[in-house]
Amino acid sequence: MSSNLATKLREGTKKSHTMAENVGFIKCFLKGVVEKQSYRKLVANLYFVYGAMEEEMARHKHHPILQHIYYPQLNRKASLEEDLAYYFGTNWREQVGLSTAGSAYVERIREVSATEPELLVAHCYTRYLGDLSGGQILKGIAQKAMGLSDGIGTSFYEFQDIPDEKEFKNTYREAMNNLPIDDVMAERIVEEANAAFGMNMKMFNELEGNLIKAIGQMLFNTLTRRRTRGATELAVEAPNS
């Protein structure tokens, strides 16, 4: 009997998904405004989030429910390490750390793994299917906005072990739809997925302040250059006036 979990997750998280897309940081991102300092802080947070999620999934890979969606080819930790080395340098491990919202996110992953591991399904759904879908759009935006060469600084979005992402998403959703769970557990997983969206939004909100400051500085620099250029032009014109 099908649980139709993937369908329930899609329908049950529509509002959260829309809210996440309307967070200031993401709205700016989608418009092509990507500031490198803010972006690398996001990458650092995601490194710890995925590290926790993938460690806990490996711990439960023989779990009667989780084993059906355990796909190591989805793992992002190694690709995030590549990106961190690009943004922070070879000593990146000494520089990166969790933000307040990132820390709460990691703690929640560890908590559900210890008390109700079935809820890890929600975290996998929220992150991995997002990476395979909208994440591919974000990759292109990030490359263009930060002037990145293909694959440099955006390894996170590259799924080298998944040759056909569309086909894989269908396989993954089918596996979720056929999980051996009842309606009560399905609702618990949908609830946890909405909570996961909320935790992601809090991480984005932390970065919004940094982004606004960066944009403000860029605007200030642009205005300053214009004023300086204008003053120079006046000085050149003055002798002939």
Tell me if 56 sits within 8 A of 120, measured CB to CB. Answer: yes
Torsion, Cα 199 203 206 209, to 10 degrees, reads -120
Tell me if 151 sits within 8 A of 158, measured CB to CB. Answer: yes
Say whether 76 counts as a known binding-site residue.
no
Find the domain containing 90 and state its range: 5-212
pLDDT value for 229: 56
**Tokens standing for residue 44:** 């650092």
CA 197/CA 189 separation, integer angstroms: 12
Residue 37 placed within a domain: yes
CA 192/CA 9 separation, integer angstroms: 10
Residue 132 placed within a domain: yes
pLDDT value for 235: 47
User: Based on the number of CB atoms within 10 Å of its own CB, is 91 exposed (0-12), middle (13-18) or buried (19 or more)?
Assistant: exposed
Residue 165 placed within a domain: yes
Provide the number of structural domains found in the chain. Answer: 1
Residue with tokens 């023989």: 62
Q: Where are the alpha helices (DSSP H) in 60-147?
A: 77-88, 100-115, 120-124, 130-132, 134-146
CATH code for the domain in which residue 50 is found: 1.20.910.10
Residue 89 placed within a domain: yes
pTM higher than 0.75, yes or no? yes
Residue 233 placed within a domain: no
Say whether 59 counts as a known binding-site residue.
no
Residues 134-183 have pLDDT tens digits of 888 999 999 999 999 887 999 999 999 999 999 999 999 999 999 999 99
Say whether 60 counts as a known binding-site residue.
no
Say whether 10 counts as a known binding-site residue.
yes
